């Protein structure tokens, strides 16, 4: 049997090579379309709502499979199921793992918010092992946690102070604070109240008690803003002029203005002791009448 002419053999090899390359390229394009192109996911009519929410979200440049991890076999099973059953609504098939979230949000990529060192994520994700989806996936493709998401677990922490009931937990608890505690600091409280123009939140630099606000203002425990002064000053009511029955009945804040505390004005005393207005005028009462 005679061999093929060289030109014919070369031509045949070229045809085979073209078919092979075409097949490989076609396979690559098919794989890329099904695995890397969100349009493929949209081709199912039930995905229209998911597509609309995704396309207007902060993740609209992220490919579906970057978050929804699914291998080719699982993906093919989904295609077959949708083609044969024709469902009317989308069902959850591909899970989103915490590792998928970390690929963007814990890799120091400036394109994405980095959360590894933030106060809230350290407490919830690192210490307590709470899944990202617990807060960031309460509904389809809605990544921003709802305002009251914290109450899902912390229902006993509703603010009892009337003026704070409309606030979100993260208004006080800085979830994305880099380093530090999730608990609000004294400066956090003062900054917020000053922005609101609250005069009661002024704190003189020479005030004797530079405390954390939470030592007196226990918003999750009581509706009234002040904790009892005796919490820290036990027995003080039995000393000096504090022991006078009328002073005890008046209450601490009648004389000691919150956040200022020092009694330095004569008017503080003469407001009640009107018969002493003319007594030793010009002198501060406490210079003679010791309350210690």
In sequence order, the 6+-apart residues with CB closer than 8 A to the CB of 37 are: 63
Average pLDDT over residues 129-147: 90
Average pLDDT over residues 55-64: 90
Checking if the pLDDT of 1 tops 50, the result is no
* CB 279, CB 259: distance < 8 Å: no
* CB 219, CB 167: distance < 8 Å: no
Average pLDDT over residues 151-164: 86
Average pLDDT over residues 169-195: 88
pTM over the 0.75 mark? no
Residue found under tokens 């405390």? 211
Checking if the pLDDT of 274 tops 60, the result is yes
Q: What pLDDT is stored for residue 230 in this prediction?
A: 79
Average pLDDT over residues 31-51: 78
- 260-285 in b/e burial notation, b at 16+ Cβ within 10 A? bbeeeebebbeeeeeeeeeeeeeeeb
Give the whole-angstrom CA distance, residue 273 versus residue 69: 77
Q: What pLDDT is stored for residue 134 in this prediction?
A: 93
Give the whole-angstrom CA distance, residue 270 versus residue 4: 124
- Burial of 204 per CB tally in 10 Å (0-12, 13-18, 19+): exposed
């Amino acid at each position: 049997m005679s061999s093929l002419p060289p030109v014919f053999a070369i031509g045949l090899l070229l045809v085979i090579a073209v078919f092979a390359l075409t097949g490989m390229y076609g396979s690559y394009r098919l794989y890329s379309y099904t695995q890397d192109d969100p349009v493929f996911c949209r081709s199912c009519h039930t995905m229209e709502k998911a597509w609309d929410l995704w396309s207007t979200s902060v993740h609209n440049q992220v490919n579906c499979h970057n978050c929804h991890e699914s291998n080719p076999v699982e993906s093919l099973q989904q295609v077959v199921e949708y083609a044969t059953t024709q469902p009317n609504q989308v069902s959850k098939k591909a899970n989103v793992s915490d590792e998928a979230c970390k690929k963007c949000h814990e890799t120091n990529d400036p394109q994405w918010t980095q959360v590894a060192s933030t106060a809230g994520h350290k407490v919830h994700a690192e210490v307590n092992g709470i899944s990202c989806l617990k807060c960031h996936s309460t509904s389809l493709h809605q990544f921003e946690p709802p305002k009251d998401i914290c109450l899902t677990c912390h229902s006993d922490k509703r603010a009892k102070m009337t003026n704070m009931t409309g606030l979100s937990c993260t208004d006080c608890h800085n979830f994305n604070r880099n380093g530090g505690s999730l608990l609000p600091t004294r400066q956090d409280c003062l900054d917020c109240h000053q922005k609101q123009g609250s005069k009661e939140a002024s704190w003189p630099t020479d005030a004797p008690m530079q405390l954390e606000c939470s030592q007196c203002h226990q918003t999750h425990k009581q509706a009234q803003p002040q904790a009892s002064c005796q919490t820290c000053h036990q027995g003080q009511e039995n000393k000096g002029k504090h022991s006078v029955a009328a002073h005890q009945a008046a209450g601490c804040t009648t004389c000691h203005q919150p956040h200022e505390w020092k009694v330095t004005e004569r008017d503080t005393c003469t407001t009640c002791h009107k018969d002493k207005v003319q007594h030793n005028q010009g002198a501060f009462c406490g210079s003679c009448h010791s309350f210690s």
